[in-house]
Amino acid sequence: MLSDEQLLRYNRQILLNDFDVAGQEALLRARVLVVGLGGLGCPAAMYLAAAGVGQLVLADGDQVELSNLQRQIAHGDADIGRAKAESVAATLAALNPGVQVEVVARRLDEAAMNTLAAQVDLVLDSSDNYPTRFALNRACIAAGVPLVSAAAVRAEGQLAVYHPAAGGPCYRCVYPQEGENTAQSCSESGVLAPVVGVLGSLQALEALKLLAGFGEPLRGALLVADLRGQHWQRLAVRPRPGCPDCAHLQD
């Protein structure tokens, strides 16, 4: 049961007819893993905390650098040299002290991803490299939990929800080729600051929808945005026959 303080804090969400108290209580019971606390992970984690997700696990092995501050809004000048996961945890504690935060300030290997994914209700992939994305995909399939994946560079972004156990493709169905060490990076290609904020916020939105049973999650679709001209496309995506990661779940 929500306390009086919680009813007041989350009042604007509770007012939504198809969200209501039941949706808020579902958020408070939820445990979410956020992998990557950079341009995507910062706004995603902040909105999840503000919305009242009960437990957040923050995983990132990097430290805050000056060049991060243009877009990674949970960090400030005083955090330079600090572990990103610890910096974001401090920001979330100030934002909503009612949220429990666990810090994993190291790079995750595949075994660690498998362990953490099995302990949560949902995973956000806010990472910036293909090995992590493919490994997280496998970990989420093994754990049977949804994966909310986003990417952004320059003025472009992509967003999808992968949960083949509930229907639709996995990440590897859409991006079948493993092997590249690094995705297109902001350090090489550049990025306009709000672009990662938009995509990270949309990650949080999809996570909240899934956890609270609100609206229509972005399953079986890939949202592609070119924010230079505000061009948005929603592309239908399907399971790939013989996908090495999720074929065992296909009919």
The arithmetic mean of pLDDT across residues 179-203, rounded, is 78
One-character DSSP codes across 30-44 = -EEEEE--STTHHHH
Whole-number mean pLDDT of the chain? 94
What is the token pair recorded at 87? 């910096």
The strand pairing partners of 224, in sequence order, are: 158, 233
Phi, psi of 136 (to 5 degrees): -65, -40
pLDDT higher than 60, residue 184: no
* C-alpha–C-alpha distance, residues 187 and 197, integer Å: 17
pLDDT in tens, 69-98: 999 999 999 999 999 999 999 999 999 999
* 136, 147 contact by CB (below 8 A): yes
pLDDT (0 to 100) of residue 137: 97
How many whole angstroms from its chain centre is CA 84? 15
* 99, 52 contact by CB (below 8 A): yes
More confident position, 251 or 129: 129
pLDDT higher than 50, residue 178: yes
pLDDT higher than 80, residue 251: no
Q: By three-state DSSP, how is residue 207 classified?
A: helix
Which pTM value belongs to this model?
A: 0.94
Plot region of 215 (φ>0 → left; ψ -120 to 50 → alpha; else → beta): left
Which domains can be identified in the chain, with CATH numbers?
Answer: 4-249 (3.40.50.720)
Beta strands in 13-67 (DSSP E): 31-35, 55-59
